[in-house]
Structure 1
Amino acid sequence: MAIEVIPTGAALGAEIRGLDMSKPLTGAEFEAVQQAWYDHIVLLFRGQKITDDDLIAFSKHFGELDIAPASATDMAGSQAKSRPEIWIISNVVENGKPIGALGDKEAEWHTDMSYVAEPPMASVLHSREIPSTGGDTSFANMYKALEALPADLRAAVEGRMCNHDASTTSVGELRAGADAVLDVRAAPGAKHPIVVTHPVTGGKALYLGRRLNAYIEGYSVAESEALLDRLWAHCAKPEFSWAHKWKVGDLLIWDNRCAIHRRDGFDGSERRVMHRTQIKGRAPR
């Protein structure tokens, strides 16, 4: 079957049909997938019955993989259930301990692991179990958000660096071993440009980690907070986004260099189990 690329019709995203991820990709198949990814930022592959090894093999086509990150909870126990490259995202508790991270809460708009010096360029997420409702994931196109940014706001942030706080997760939980941030100017994390250039497409995009404890260098805290509030209100507009409703077997890959994403909360009495890999990146610039 020939590969089909079916755009969502929204600001980003496309479904890829005609591939079985349990089988190795040919060079031509990967070239087609990679180009579609550059064109659409987020790709969806439905009905993928794959193992962790298959997930890792697919992900490695894009580059070297990171080891699963630390989170708010000690995840050492969960890693026995998977591979070091696999991060389990789940609300399931077994024998009194969570098997994964991030629970059932809403995850605010963010870019994965932007609080490190060299954030992952991409994330790959495969659904194993999903709740009957909720837990949907939304993505926003940061190329388009920058293009539509009001001129005064762009002038205020162009050439500026933002500190990306490392103390909390995307669901607002304090990471293991982290202290609460009392002054955003002293928050732990990494500093990145607010406007970046994609190293492959050459497109310019906004680069935002998460709103909590962010700080734009060179401004007072009050000025930074006001600018960040405007940025986030702008990027969260529906015209820049696409929402994905999960089915079991869905696999998504997205480009962290030009997209932000969020997750809806869901009923904690229902199980949600997702396996994620992430592809190493370089410092945004």
Structure 2
Amino acid sequence: MALSAGSEVASGRRGEPIDVIPTGAALGAEVRGIDLRDLDASQFAAIERAWHDHQVILVRGQTLNDQDLITFSRRFGDLDWAPVQETGRRFVEGLPEIYIVSNVTVNGQPIGSLGSGEAVWHTDMSYLDVPPMASMLYSLEVPPAGGNTSFCSMYAVYETLPDELKRKIANLKIKHDGTYNSGGYLRQGVTATDDPRTSPGAVHPLVCTHPDTGRRMLYLGRRRNSYLLGLELAESEALLNQLWDFVARPEFAWEHVWRVGDLVLWDNRCTMHRRDPFDDSARRVMHRTQIKGNAAPV
């Protein structure tokens, strides 16, 4: 999706303005005129403000090594170590903060996780009691087609719900499944199950308030094995299907087509994201960091 013509001006490097250009969709903006290796306080403040305003920000044309990525990420808070995924291989050697997302294999062994298939709509690691606050993805190699990442505004989804549905879900809690990752792979060390009532995972409110913006949002996590506590399974499934029908609407989403050197930062608390599949013979290598959450969703 193309960026909109309108732009916002924020204080940037050495007092010069930088452009914050909204995508024109329900969320997302590109931040231009910055080098993430050399940020002063006013630049970082502008980036953080744009992130809160637009939920997802894109910075193109960056040349970052792994330590640069870690240094920039840490300006937002402490970092999680990369999660253990389906292969057991999870991070850059010596840098456990950097999680490798890739379909590339070396000597028959994957260098990262999630392969080349579709990654369905999800919130990163919502199956934890305190999920990560944000995620950051930096592109090193991209396929000639496919592998696009779409983001969905959970503010916009919640605000669009009919009042009667809002009242119905106001006090419900949802269990976020920890059995499978967004690529459909069984998490390492977890026993397979498809019973949402008994699968492992954290319980969070279905409707949450963002701690920084004060806005209300729907907190769904991912569809597979999710369960609304206190309801019969059939009732839970029907209500969740009704809510997920809103997530599928294109007016709540923005699709990003990757280039090498792109960095995308998203707010894990108020967005979901998904990835298109791509040709497995093409290489895709991304390095990701996660900013730790400060508290459980409320």
Give the TM-score range, shorter chain.
Answer: over 0.9
Structure 1 partner of 2:116: 104
The alignment of Structure 1 onto Structure 2 pairs a total of residues equal to: 282
Answer yes or no: is 1:60 the counterpart of 2:74.
Answer: yes
Q: How far is 1:59 from its partner?
A: 0.6
Structure 1 partner of 2:144: 132
Look up the SS of the partner of 2:97 in the other structure.
Answer: coil
Answer yes or no: is 1:92 the counterpart of 2:96.
Answer: no
Q: How far is 1:79 from its partner?
A: 3.5
Is the 8 Å Cα contact of residues 6 and 14 (structure 1) preserved in structure 2? yes
Is the 8 Å Cα contact of residues 194 and 225 (structure 2) preserved in structure 1? no
Structure 2 partner of 1:177: 189
Look up the SS of the partner of 2:52 in the other structure.
Answer: helix
| Equivalent residue runs for 1:160-171 within 5 Å | 160-171=172-183
Answer yes or no: is 1:220 the counterpart of 2:232.
Answer: yes
Structure 1 partner of 2:286: 274
Answer yes or no: is 1:12 the counterpart of 2:24.
Answer: no
Q: Distance in 1 between matches of 2:164 and 2:109?
A: 49
Q: How far is 1:159 from its partner?
A: 1.2
Structure 2 partner of 1:188: 200
Paired amino acid for 1:10 = A
The runs of 5 or more residues in structure 1 that have no matched partner are none
Structure 1 partner of 2:86: 72
CA 1:145–1:120 in structure 2 vs 1: closer, same or farther (change >3 Å)?
A: same
Q: How far is 1:189 from its partner?
A: 0.8
Q: How far is 1:22 from its partner?
A: 2.4
Which range is displaced more, 30-39 or 145-154? 145-154
Which whole-Å deviations, capped at 9, do the CAs of 1:187-226 have from their partners, x for residues lacking one? 1010011100000100000111110000000111100001
| Equivalent residue runs for 1:206-285 within 5 Å | 206-281=218-293, 282-285=295-298
Structure 2 partner of 1:51: 65
The normalised TM-score by structure 2 is: 0.93
Structure 2 partner of 1:31: 45
Which range is displaced more, 41-50 or 232-241? 232-241
Look up the SS of the partner of 1:57 in the other structure.
Answer: helix
Is the 8 Å Cα contact of residues 72 and 168 (structure 1) preserved in structure 2? no
Look up the SS of the partner of 1:125 in the other structure.
Answer: strand
Which whole-Å deviations, capped at 9, do the CAs of 1:30-75 have from their partners, x for residues lacking one? 1111111100000000011100111111111111100101111111
The runs of 4+ residues in structure 1 deviating greater than 3 Å are none
Look up the SS of the partner of 2:17 in the other structure.
Answer: coil
Look up the SS of the partner of 2:128 in the other structure.
Answer: coil
Which whole-Å deviations, capped at 9, do the CAs of 1:140-165 have from their partners, x for residues lacking one? 11111101012232222211110000
Q: Distance in 2 between matches of 1:156 and 1:75?
A: 42
Is the 8 Å Cα contact of residues 142 and 283 (structure 2) preserved in structure 1? yes
Look up the SS of the partner of 1:227 in the other structure.
Answer: helix
Paired amino acid for 1:73 = T
Q: Distance in 2 between matches of 1:135 and 1:156?
A: 37
Paired amino acid for 1:197 = T
Is the 8 Å Cα contact of residues 153 and 227 (structure 1) preserved in structure 2? no
Q: Distance in 2 between matches of 1:57 and 1:182?
A: 40
Which whole-Å deviations, capped at 9, do the CAs of 1:250-284 have from their partners, x for residues lacking one? 00000011100000000000000000000001200
Look up the SS of the partner of 2:136 in the other structure.
Answer: strand
Look up the SS of the partner of 1:86 in the other structure.
Answer: strand
Look up the SS of the partner of 1:184 in the other structure.
Answer: coil
The runs of 5 or more residues in structure 2 that have no matched partner are 1-15
